Amino acid sequence: MIHTQLQDFMKQIQLQILTFGIAKEIIGKQIFDIDLPENSTVQNLKNTLFEQYPELGKLKSLSIAVNNEYAESDYALSTSDEIALIPPVSGG
């Protein structure tokens, strides 16, 4: 039973992330993949991104769009989602 629980804990999903603006500059790619535990949320994704790319955490804001809509932090992610990092927009 413990082995099954560990296998469930270890299940990962692979997400493809699109980047724009300063987020693209920080990460160095327009599209990249990231692995997260199954049942991860947008907040889990943000936490992982901030750990891997500390400069992202210094941005005034960083929104996450899932399937072309801004996503709340508790939104559960799946491998079929289209995910984009939306950095602060400048201009006037």
Is 92 part of any domain? no
Is 6 part of any domain? no
Q: How many domains does the chain have?
A: 1
The residue segments making up the domain with residue 22 are: 11-86
For the entire predicted model, the pTM comes to 0.84
pLDDT in tens, 34-77: 999 999 999 999 999 999 999 999 999 999 999 999 999 999 99
Measured in whole angstroms, how far is the alpha carbon of residue 40 from the centre of its chain? 9
Is 79 part of any domain? yes
Is 4 part of any domain? no
Q: What percent helix, strand, coil does the chain show, rounded to 5?
A: 35, 30, 35
Is 43 part of any domain? yes
Task: Report the CATH number at residue 49.
Answer: 3.10.20.30
